[in-house]
């Protein structure tokens, strides 16, 4: 009888501790990392656009320049992959714009994605959708 | 009797297991959780603080330049923020405000004041502004004995903050040299272009010469480095004197303020012969000095003059030529060139605010790319509990 009582008491204590542990659990680290990477990605695209370079890179097909600008701007441990689409979400044909081991994108659960829209270049309206994926390497 | 003993033994085992869990497992779970909570709380506070620092203009909105050429007084700052007043874009900072974070002869804002204005009691923090990449350079200047020709050789190494080389960076070395023609002084420039190799290195050389009675005096090389036209950094190198021994250059709004170094090892008068604004394409002469344009340790220890529209010339540098003695044992008067202002990128190009070492506890770091005076920098906020 005492064995049953002891087991019951243990179960109650363990379930109470487990309940408290889950109750006090915080958002996952990955969610936090992704949010910070999204902020960094948007910050950099915005800054490059602010210097009137982003539209020039995209509409004049300066793919090496856009890669270099992102490489020097992003923190050194962040890998990226940039895709560009037209207004109908058809991919624009361009060489790979990326940095770092791309397998990390498939293996990591914390991939941040930033969408940035360029309305056009100079006076012509011809929107481009930039999708920048970031991951901690 | 046997059943009772069995009951007691089983109870002892179960209670022992519970005791072990209570003593070892539960505290470790709680500790990890608490540490993680602490880290996240720091991260949230850091995000909130950097948002205020970068997006808020502060109050008065022109607090970085509101005292003009008078000494800056931090008591007049009611709210802290570094955002540029005239620019509605995000992440564009006011260089007048940023310069108040560095040691500034015109006065600076203290760490305690910023901490109070940001409401960060219970926390400590440091702010670092640094260029997107490092530029190491070496310059060798060989002068002919007749002072009419000089060969300048340079080598630069461009790398990221983690030491990785930056290939295909464009380096524009600009040689600025002062020419004394006997009856007049002038400043001339020669610019060239190099591209870094796969190891981030490039080198080059140039010959400058004058004819007739003219003589080449001081020579300075200014390096402007860009990557994909975006990131720009300017560093200078010269061989004859330490620029800090001549004067300190500050720009407050549209006003150039020159002040003398605190070290009085060179007490001679500094006559300002010429000031030019150079934006790496064209050079605009702002001033041809008269005998009133002087700096000395007597009544003229600060010199200032306002040039309308000066603050809109970013990114650009000021090239100043002085008629001075280079040091107590350096012979007679000569021409010395000074380039500035350097408040943002002195000390190896990095501006540090409260650069104290972080303790061993948890700390949060938030970095953002910002634009100051037309150039790209990384603003880094590190925050920890007091």
> Is residue B346 pLDDT above 60, yes or no?
no
pLDDT tens digits for A105-130?
888 888 999 999 999 988 889 999 99
The Cα B171–Cα B138 span in angstroms is: 13
pLDDT tens digits for A73-87?
888 889 999 999 999
**Average pLDDT of the residues of chain B:** 83
Residue A1's pLDDT is what?
65
> Is residue A6 pLDDT above 80, yes or no?
no
Of A10, A32, A65, the CB nearest to B40: A32
B46, B159, B229, best to mutate vs chain A, most A CBs in 10 Å: B229
Check the CA dihedral B255-B172-B187-B299 and report its sign: positive
Phi then psi for residue B185, to 5 deg, are -120, 145
CA distances from A41 to A71, A132, B40, B293, B295 (A): 12, 7, 20, 49, 48
The Cα B170–Cα B232 span in angstroms is: 10
A3 and B CB contact within 8 Å: yes
Collect all residues with Cβ–Cβ distance below 8 Å to B121 and sequence separation of at least 6.
Answer: B115
Collect all residues with Cβ–Cβ distance below 8 Å to B86 and sequence separation of at least 6.
Answer: none
The Cα B301–Cα B290 span in angstroms is: 17
Q: Residue B368 and residue A43: Cβ atoms within 8 Å?
A: yes
Q: Residue A36 and residue B231: Cβ atoms within 8 Å?
A: no
Interface of B with A in 268-327 (CB under 8 A): none
> pLDDT category, B171, cuts 50, 70, 90?
very high
- Complex-level ipTM: 0.74
B107 preceded by a cis bond (ω within 30 of 0): no
Q: How far apart are the CA of A91 and the nearest CA of chain B, in angstroms?
A: 24
Q: Beta strands B92-93 and B363-372: pairing type?
A: parallel
Name the token pair of B339.
């380039």
On chain A, the residues whose CB falls within 8 A of the CB of B23 are none
- Residue, of B30 and B20, whose pLDDT is higher: B20
pLDDT tens digits for B235-285?
777 766 776 678 888 777 788 888 887 777 778 888 898 898 887 777 888
- Residue, of B346 and B331, whose pLDDT is higher: B331
- Let me know: does B238 contact B326? Beta carbons within 8 Å: no
Cα angle A111, A114, A116 (rounded to 5 degrees) comes to 160
- Let me know: does A54 contact B229? Beta carbons within 8 Å: no
Rounded to two decimals, what is the model's pTM?
0.78
> Is residue B329 pLDDT above 90, yes or no?
no
Residue A32's pLDDT is what?
61
Least trusted range by pLDDT, from B261-275, B314-328, B361-375: B314-328
A44 and B CB contact within 8 Å: yes
- Residue, of B175 and B331, whose pLDDT is higher: B175
Q: Residue A50 and residue B89: Cβ atoms within 8 Å?
A: yes
Q: How far apart are the CA of B86 and the nearest CA of chain A, in angstroms?
A: 14
> pLDDT category, B347, cuts 50, 70, 90?
very low
B135 and A CB contact within 8 Å: no
Collect all residues with Cβ–Cβ distance below 8 Å to A114 and sequence separation of at least 6.
Answer: A38, A41, A42, A45, A131, A132, A133, A134
Q: How far apart are the CA of A82 and the nearest CA of chain B, in angstroms?
A: 16
The Cα A44–Cα A50 span in angstroms is: 9
On chain B, the residues whose CB falls within 8 A of the CB of A65 are 228-229
Mean pLDDT (whole number) for B103-118: 87
- Residue, of B48 and B374, whose pLDDT is higher: B48
pLDDT tens digits for A44-78?
999 899 888 999 999 999 999 999 999 888 888 89
CA distances from A77 to A36, B217, B363 (A): 14, 47, 19
> Is residue B22 pLDDT above 70, yes or no?
no
B12, B14, B195, B364, best to mutate vs chain A, most A CBs in 10 Å: B14
Residue B154's pLDDT is what?
94
Check the CA dihedral A62-A63-A69-A72 and report its sign: negative
A100: helix, strand or coil: coil
> pLDDT category, B359, cuts 50, 70, 90?
low
> Is residue B344 pLDDT above 90, yes or no?
no
Q: Residue A46 and residue B91: Cβ atoms within 8 Å?
A: yes
Of A17, A27, A53, the CB nearest to B230: A53
Q: How far apart are the CA of B169 and the nearest CA of chain A, in angstroms?
A: 9
Rank A18-27, B76-85, B368-377 by mean pLDDT and report only the highest: B76-85
A15, A47, A49, A78, best to mutate vs chain B, most B CBs in 10 Å: A47
The Cα B125–Cα B358 span in angstroms is: 9
A32 and B CB contact within 8 Å: yes
**Average pLDDT of the residues of chain A:** 85
> pLDDT category, B32, cuts 50, 70, 90?
low
The strand pairing partners of B338, in sequence order, are B320
Interface of B with A in 13-72 (CB under 8 A): 14-15, 17-18, 21-22, 26, 29-30, 33, 36-37, 40, 43, 47
Residue B266's pLDDT is what?
76
Residue B28's pLDDT is what?
65
> pLDDT category, B327, cuts 50, 70, 90?
low
A55 and B CB contact within 8 Å: no
Of B7, B29, B168, the CB nearest to A68: B168
Residue B278's pLDDT is what?
82
- Residue, of B299 and A81, whose pLDDT is higher: A81
């Amino acid at each position: 009888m005492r064995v049953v009582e002891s087991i019951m008491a243990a179960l109650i204590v363990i379930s109470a501790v487990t309940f408290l542990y889950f109750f006090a659990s915080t958002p996952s680290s990955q969610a936090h990392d992704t949010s910070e990477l999204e902020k960094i990605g948007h910050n950099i695209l915005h800054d490059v656009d602010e210097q009137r370079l982003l539209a020039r890179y995209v509409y004049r097909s300066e793919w090496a320049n856009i890669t270099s600008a992102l490489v020097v701007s992003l923190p050194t441990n962040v890998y990226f992959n940039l895709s560009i689409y037209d207004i109908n979400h058809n991919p624009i044909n361009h060489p790979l714009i990326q940095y770092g081991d791309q397998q990390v994108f498939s293996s990591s659960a914390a991939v941040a994605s930033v969408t940035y829209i360029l309305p056009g270049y100079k006076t012509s309206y011809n929107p481009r959708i930039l999708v920048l994926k970031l991951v901690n390497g | 009797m046997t059943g009772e003993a069995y009951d007691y033994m089983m109870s002892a085992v179960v209670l022992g297991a519970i005791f072990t869990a209570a003593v070892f497992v539960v505290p470790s779970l709680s500790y990890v959780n608490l540490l993680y909570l602490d880290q996240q709380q720091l991260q949230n506070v850091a995000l909130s603080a950097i948002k205020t620092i970068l997006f808020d203009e502060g109050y008065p909105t022109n607090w970085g330049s509101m005292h003009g050429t008078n000494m800056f007084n931090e008591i007049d700052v009611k709210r802290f923020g570094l955002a540029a007043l005239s620019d509605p874009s995000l992440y564009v900072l006011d260089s007048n405000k940023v310069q108040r974070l560095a040691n500034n002869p015109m006065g600076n804002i203290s760490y305690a004041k910023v901490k109070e204005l940001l409401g960060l009691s219970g926390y400590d923090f440091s702010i670092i502004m640094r260029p997107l990449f490092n530029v190491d350079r070496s310059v060798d200047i060989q002068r002919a004995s007749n002072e009419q020709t000089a060969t300048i050789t340079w080598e630069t190494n461009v790398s990221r903050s983690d030491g990785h080389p930056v290939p295909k960076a464009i380096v524009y070395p600009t040689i600025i040299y002062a020419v004394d023609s006997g009856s007049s002084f002038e400043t001339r420039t020669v610019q060239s272009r190099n591209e870094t190799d796969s190891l981030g290195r490039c080198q080059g050389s140039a010959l400058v010469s004058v004819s007739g009675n003219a003589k080449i005096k001081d020579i300075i090389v200014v390096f402007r480095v860009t990557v994909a036209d975006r990131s720009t950094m300017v560093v200078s190198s010269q061989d004859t004197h330490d620029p800090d021994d001549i004067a300190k250059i500050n720009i407050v709004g549209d006003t150039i303020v020159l002040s003398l170094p605190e070290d009085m090892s060179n007490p001679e008068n500094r006559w300002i012969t010429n000031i030019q604004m150079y934006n790496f394409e064209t050079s605009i002469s702002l001033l041809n000095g008269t005998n009133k344009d002087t700096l000395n340790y007597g009544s003229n220890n600060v010199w200032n003059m306002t040039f309308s529209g000066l603050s809109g010339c970013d990114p650009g540098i000021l090239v100043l030529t002085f008629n001075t003695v280079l040091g107590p044992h350096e012979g007679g008067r000569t021409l010395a060139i000074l380039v500035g202002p350097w408040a943002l990128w002195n000390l190896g190009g990095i501006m540090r605010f409260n650069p104290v070492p972080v303790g061993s506890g948890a700390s949060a770091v938030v970095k953002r790319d910002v634009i100051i005076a037309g150039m790209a920098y990384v603003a880094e906020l590190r925050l920890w509990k007091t």
